[in-house]
Amino acid sequence: MRNRVSKWLIMALVLAMGLTLATVHARADGIVRISPGRADKPGFLVVIEYPGQYELSGNLRVTDANTTAVEINADNVTLDLNGYTIQGPARCAKMTASCAPAGSGNGVHAVNRRNVLVKNGNIEGMGNYGVYLETNSGRIERLVLAGNAHGGAVFFGGSISDSIAEANGGDGVFGVDLKVRRNVLRNNRGYGLKAFGKTMSRNNEFIGNNRNAAQSNLKSVTGNGDTCAAAACP
């Protein structure tokens, strides 16, 4: 009996070591890959609890307008959509119509976090916002934010660059103390850009938004190099 127990114990240790080595090897590049089909807990498909670099390995599909695709509960997180799409259930019939179904679910959501970067992919049809970063150091780069029920992106301090916010049910981009550069903001139900505080807008293209192209501190503004429908903004 003692030999049999020892044999099983050795086998268990070998298996444990093998699994550990496999895990280390899979993450040797330092990137944590997020696979489709995740359901970490009710209301969230993916919950990120630790700093680091994360990357989608496929599209994330959200069937409930009240479900958030990715919740970030850590500082110093880079989320690379890797060219994939976070797809929610909302649909927007046309620019002046509301989107449905609307809800509380965001494509990417973070509250009271520092140094969060979301980049390189598409976020479409979420019940609330494509990206909601309640942080003073959030960054959005090379995203397409389209057809989200309440708006494209909301964040409170940070930058959005080289991105598209189009056909959203509210403002394309909304926030405080923003740096908004080289984006296309078009056909949103609200403003292309609505901001407060010290916001800088530069080299953006505004097309067909339902209200003014850009508003800062409740006044219409035009940033350096901004264009409206391929012409200089009035």
pLDDT range class, residue 1, cuts 50, 70, 90 = very low
Predicted confidence at residue 118, as pLDDT, reads 98
Q: pLDDT tens digits, residue range 3-17?
A: 443 434 333 433 333
Give alpha helix (H) positions in 99-191.
Answer: none
Average pLDDT, stretch 210-233? 74
Predicted confidence at residue 230, as pLDDT, reads 64
Predicted confidence at residue 231, as pLDDT, reads 64
Average pLDDT, stretch 77-100? 89
Measured in degrees and rounded to the nearest 5, phi and psi for residue 89 equal -90, -10
Q: pLDDT tens digits, residue range 104-153?
A: 999 999 999 999 999 999 999 999 999 999 887 899 999 999 999 999 99
86 phi-psi bin (left φ>0, alpha ψ -120 to 50, beta other): beta
Helices and strands in the chain, H and E counts: 1, 24
* Token couple for 22: 């496999």
Average pLDDT, stretch 220-234? 73
Predicted confidence at residue 5, as pLDDT, reads 39
**Which pTM does this prediction carry?**
0.84
Q: Return mean pLDDT, the chain.
A: 85
Average pLDDT, stretch 11-38? 54
**CB-based contacts of 214, cutoff 8 Å, min separation 6:** 185, 191, 192, 193, 194, 195, 201, 204, 206, 220, 221, 222, 223, 226, 233
Distance of CA 32 to the CA centre of its chain: 17
